[in-house]
Structure 1
Amino acid sequence: MKSYYIVILAFIWPFLCHGQEGVIFGVVTSGNKTVPFVNVYLKNTLAGTASNENGNFKIDEIKPGSYNFMATAIGYLPYKQPLEIKPGQEIYIAIELIPSPEALDEMVVTGTLKGVQRSESPVPVEVYSPTFLKKNPTASIFEALQNVNGVRPQINCNVCNTGDIHINGLEGPYTLVLIDGMPIVSGLGTVYGLSGIPNSLIQQIEIVKGPASSLYGSEAVGGLINIITKSALEAPDFFADAFATGWGEYNLDVGAKIKLSPKTDMLLGINYFNYDQLIDNNGDNFTDLTLQDRISVFQKWNLKRKDNRILSLAGRFFYEDRWGGELQWTPEYRGGNEIYGESIYTRRWEILGKYQLPVKEQLLLSFSYNDHSQNSVYGDVPYLADQRIGFGQLTWDKKHGIHDLLFGAALRYNYYNDNTTATLTSDEVVIPSLFVQDEIQFAKKHALLLGLRYDFDKRHGSIVTPRSAYRFKITDEDILRINAGTGFRVVNLFTEEHAALTGARDVVVTEALKPEKSFNVNLNYLKKIFADNGTYATIDGSLFYTHFSNAILPDYDTNPNQIIYDNLNGKSISKGLSLNIDIAFPSGFKLLLGATLQDVSQTENGVSQRQILTESYTGTWNLGYTFKNIGLSIDYTGNLYGPMRLPVLGETDPRSDYSPIWSIQNIQFTYSALDNFEFYGGIKNLLDWTPNRGNPFIIARSNDPFDKEVTFDANGKPLATPNNPNGLTFDPSYVYGPNQGIRGFLGIRYRIN
């Protein structure tokens, strides 16, 4: 009989135990919407599932015990909650995911030319998503970068308002800008090509600070910015984003995903911007903001192939008509010396693509080509330029044991011609390159990257650029990186130094310029913090040091009527530290703070001085809070810049030698409770700050832009006269910030997924 009961008990025991197991169920939301396909699991166990299309989930058959419950999804901060499961207990959890403007583990490609999780990359890469861009809506990528720590859009001309991007205090020519990894935006394109890329088609922006010439060649001396566009899988079926400002600026982004066949998808994006208001708040009879009318059309084709091999092709056409100058200027004065104006007609087109070869090995062919035509006048000085850049690259991605190898061969074609006396004949060169990279995973927590590139330029001979990177993953939440590398840059002044084209100063090149070279060391530490209450934070700090030889820097000081270029007979050094803190609270409050301290100087003949137009410190912030019950978000963004040395016209110039501490601050309100719609509005430049504060004028001799009333001595130096008591000439190059004051803005977004 006893044996009989034992058999019965053995039979029903699993069912009795099952009844003692726990269950977790619930729903995943973000804001006022459910989130499908979220991974929910108990850490360090096999228990887990994914939320369904309605955001609901259920995990059953959980043994009693203590667990860490996790929920993760791309684009959101991880959710973590400690749980104590009792026998037979059923627990309901309402998970509220917080969108992350800087999600930690995005896939990045810029640092190594391979897709890896950001936390696994031996090269520190900063990533900025469309969520970040929306917190301060702008009409161009150039303006959008103003709230990125260590990155500053520099306006180079008071009249035409063109500019470039500074990274860690280094001038714009040291920054390489890529689109989908291809060097589309360079030379003339750096000045004008950063406008007209529809923000709605951007997947993310990746930024590497420090030389990257071992992978990307010339121009990647100080750092690079890679604008990655969306694929057809990630893009909405239709989107539109339009906004207007109180100054009369109008911007429209419109796009669609079009399925042409079962194997072919096409993305179409159109950006249109218009500003045609004559505003002169500083009273110098010159436009405070350049009038602009531009259109950009972008297409990207994705074709499905066997074995998911890559085939994509993209193209963009850009046209812009911009002018600034005296308020009474009209097109009939273009190129004359009666009324001063700077008028620029720009037309450029670009193509880029990727093709994975149909072989067993991972062979990828990438290519790009752009044609830039510019018809400009700066007062009575014409500047007519054509630039064509072709680029082809073949890479072989090969893994062997602990080695992750990348071999590459590249060919770059540069053509440039203009009407200036400095370019007597067209500049045409083909630069072949070879490079190799080996990422060695010699231990679970340790990775070492070694790279070497060889370029041959017939003007300068062989150029070799090595680099190395080491990553130590102390824990899953602590990562230490050390990077060292070299960079080089072959210079064409007239595609990059806009101040040389204003007609206000003569350009003097004292010698045949040699390529610039740089050496950089960067120490980076990343800390992730997951609090039990759901708070998530990252702390990202870096120490950087860059040494330049053969640096080419403009000399504004020796002669106020000249810009003198030569190779620095000495050294140029950029050093400093930067810190980013990103915190997201379960309440919906988000905080992103950044600060950079830097010292950028040149030493020649034993004398050191700070680099012109370079701040000693900068700060950025982004504070956001979401009222989840009403679908309203508030974002307060801003930046702060320390003093920088400015290009004055000698000792008699009454303008300040140094800029003051200045700040641009913005606030935005976004309402997103309606399906498919977002309404946003706010105020830009809350402090109404402009560079004319504390200065008698910004543009020198704005009343005499052609120097008709200036008297010169035998050496060409201006003399003090009753109507020119300071002995100045016309000069619009004294510029370090935007002339736009406070203004409101309103916008609407519509999206169909």
Structure 2
Amino acid sequence: MIKKIIVLLITITALSATSLVWSQKTQTGANVSGDVKSDGKHIPYANILVKGTNRGISTDEKGHYMLADLPKGKHTLVAKFIGYKEQEKEIEALAGQSITVNFELERELMSLDEVVVTGTKTFQRKTQAPVIVNVLGKGTLEAVEANNIAEGLNFQPGLRVETDCQTCNYTQLRMNGLGGSYSQILMNSRPIFSPLIGLYGLEQIPANMVERIEVVRGGGSALYGSSAIGGTVNVITQIPQSNSYDMSYAYHSINGRANDHLLNGNISMVNKKRNMGAVLFVSHRNREQYDHEGLTLHPDGSTTKERDNFSELPKLKNNSFGANLFYEPTDNQKLELNFTSMYEYRYGGEMIDKLPHLAKQSEERIHHIMMGGLDYEIHFNSNLTSLNAYVAGQKTDRDHYTGLYPERDEFDTETEFDDALYEHLANPPYGKTDNTTMQGGVNMNHNLTDFFSG
């Protein structure tokens, strides 16, 4: 394994060095500069691409750009930015000459043609994807005040996040009516979610780390294996776009009897060349147990409102943090690294201040989850061919308890009850689960410009 990693690093270094040498040999002095505006205002961090090549750059924080040492000849420049219509302009690059090309972009009222990746495992426009891909963006998650992705997915058609246990409130994602085992959950297009995380992980991923969620429903998602018969949910984490930070605090009161506190923070950083950047996020949640008032039916047919001291909503404590980083050594290469750590404490059942096994009935879950991935991508052959190598994994440590305290009326004799009580107190049913998932691979894509001829 170590030898394979060393060979991969040597290959990446060699490709990087080759690209650097090639770029040094193509200095033409043909430069293009300008700005990108909309309604008279500059657009920072818009993308300027040379169509049909791997050359491109982003505008700076003031909306200006400069492309240096373009190959001599005619080119098409493309300006694009999320929420705006693309614009193309024809230019002719002459050796030793600099020209100015400015763009004026129009706003796009509806984002019907977003770039998605889930449908085919490659970047496609929504209108060109062979399957229907629904996108839940960061703005929508903020608008519905979703604390985690489980709350956000409830607003997607054909999806239902179902709570299947009143005590611990574990959830499963149903797609097209099928159970959770038929839904594949991806993190940055990698199937690193174990079945164990699938039950609890949707509530552990804070909404502030998500850029968008892509959803493919039905058999078209079977590209991702037998677990995706119902559909696929691909959680895309944030990529740094600008130097910014934000902090938010939310407070919820549950019928005035339980408090829910949520604290989120994000920091995004990019360098001036925009070939290196990082996003850091942190999230903390603390929710108290909640016992809802119910109706008790008496033998005479009358009812009274009372609480039974058993929780309808479990106690939750969540701490999550992580980072996404990228580095582009050359125009046609990119390295991405992402890491996430999640901790959750969950307790439901009889509301007592004792150890779980001393409650009449209770469930306790403690999760420590680490997830991460490393991607390397290179484009060559006039941007017609791309090679991607990746490794990803997750590790879950879970401590758990599920049990009932022995009751006298459940046993025929006093001796049986005493034996059961002694066994429960001496060896309470606590458990521990360790789960590790690793994945790696290499993808190569090539666009055929003249597949059919004649």
TM class by shorter chain equals 0.5 to 0.7
Deviation at 1:183, TM superposition (A): 1.2
| Contact 1:357 1:365 (8 Å CA) reproduced | no
TM-score with structure 2 setting the length? 0.65
Percent of aligned positions that are identical: 26
**Counterpart amino acid of residue 132 in structure 2:** P
**SS of 1:365 mapped into structure 2:** strand
| Contact 2:211 2:236 (8 Å CA) reproduced | yes
Please give the alpha-carbon distance, in whole angstroms, between the structure 2 residues aligned to 1:166 and 1:402: 42
Please give the alpha-carbon distance, in whole angstroms, between the structure 1 residues aligned to 2:139 and 2:318: 25
Deviation at 1:214, TM superposition (A): 5.1
Please give the alpha-carbon distance, in whole angstroms, between the structure 2 residues aligned to 1:275 and 1:77: 43
In structure 2, the partner of 1:335 is: 357
| Contact 1:196 1:271 (8 Å CA) reproduced | no
State which structure, 1 or 2, has the greater radius of gyration over its C-alpha atoms.
1
In structure 2, the partner of 1:82 is: none
Residue among 442, 448, 452 paired with 1:394: 442
Quickly say closer, same or farther: Cα 1:241–1:402, change in 2 above 3 A. farther
Quickly say closer, same or farther: Cα 1:394–1:54, change in 2 above 3 A. closer
Structure 1 residues 193-592: aligned runs within 5 Å? 193-211=201-219, 215-232=223-240, 234=241, 237-247=244-254, 248-259=259-270, 264-282=276-294, 283-327=307-351, 329-332=352-355, 334-336=356-358, 338-356=359-377, 361-380=385-404, 381-403=429-451
Deviation at 1:335, TM superposition (A): 2.8
Alignment RMSD (CA, Å)? 3.3
Quickly say closer, same or farther: Cα 1:325–1:385, change in 2 above 3 A. same
Give CA-to-partner distance per residue, 1:331-390, whole Å, 9 cap, x none: 42x234x52211111111011121125876521012211011111111254342221111
In structure 1, the partner of 2:299 is: none
In structure 2, the partner of 1:494 is: none
Task: Confirm whether residue 150 of structure 1 aligns to residue 171 of structure 2.
Answer: no
Structure 1 residues 572-651: aligned runs within 5 Å? none
Structure 1 residues 25-174: aligned runs within 5 Å? 28=39, 36=43, 74-75=82-83, 100=110, 103-174=111-182
Deviation at 1:131, TM superposition (A): 1.6
**SS of 2:181 mapped into structure 1:** helix
Quickly say closer, same or farther: Cα 1:76–1:273, change in 2 above 3 A. farther
**Counterpart amino acid of residue 341 in structure 1:** S
Q: How many residues align?
A: 328
Unaligned runs of 5+ in 2: 1-36, 48-58, 64-78, 87-104, 295-306, 405-428
**SS of 1:183 mapped into structure 2:** coil
Higher relative strand content: 1
Give CA-to-partner distance per residue, 1:527-577, whole Å, 9 cap, x none: xxxxxxxxxxxxxxxxxxxxxxxxxxxxxxxxxxxxxxxxxxxxxxxxxxx
Please give the alpha-carbon distance, in whole angstroms, between the structure 1 residues aligned to 2:371 and 2:166: 29
TM-score with structure 1 setting the length? 0.40
In structure 1, the partner of 2:190 is: 182
Deviation at 1:74, TM superposition (A): 2.4
Give CA-to-partner distance per residue, 1:257-283, whole Å, 9 cap, x none: 245896542211011111124433333
Please give the alpha-carbon distance, in whole angstroms, between the structure 1 residues aligned to 2:167 and 2:308: 11
Please give the alpha-carbon distance, in whole angstroms, between the structure 2 residues aligned to 1:52 and 1:159: 52
Please give the alpha-carbon distance, in whole angstroms, between the structure 2 residues aligned to 1:373 and 1:331: 23
**Counterpart amino acid of residue 335 in structure 1:** H
Deviation at 1:201, TM superposition (A): 3.2
Quickly say closer, same or farther: Cα 1:183–1:27, change in 2 above 3 A. closer
Deviation at 1:27, TM superposition (A): 6.6
Quickly say closer, same or farther: Cα 1:123–1:237, change in 2 above 3 A. same
Please give the alpha-carbon distance, in whole angstroms, between the structure 1 residues aligned to 2:115 and 2:159: 22
| Contact 1:260 1:266 (8 Å CA) reproduced | no
Quickly say closer, same or farther: Cα 1:165–1:305, change in 2 above 3 A. same
Quickly say closer, same or farther: Cα 1:36–1:383, change in 2 above 3 A. same
Give CA-to-partner distance per residue, 1:622-671, whole Å, 9 cap, x none: xxxxxxxxxxxxxxxxxxxxxxxxxxxxxxxxxxxxxxxxxxxxxxxxxx
**Counterpart amino acid of residue 366 in structure 1:** Y
Deviation at 1:289, TM superposition (A): 0.8
Unaligned runs of 5+ in 1: 1-25, 40-50, 56-70, 79-94, 404-440, 443-753
**SS of 1:243 mapped into structure 2:** strand
Stretches of 4+ aligned residues off by more than 6 angstroms: 51-55
**SS of 1:307 mapped into structure 2:** coil
Deviation at 1:170, TM superposition (A): 0.8
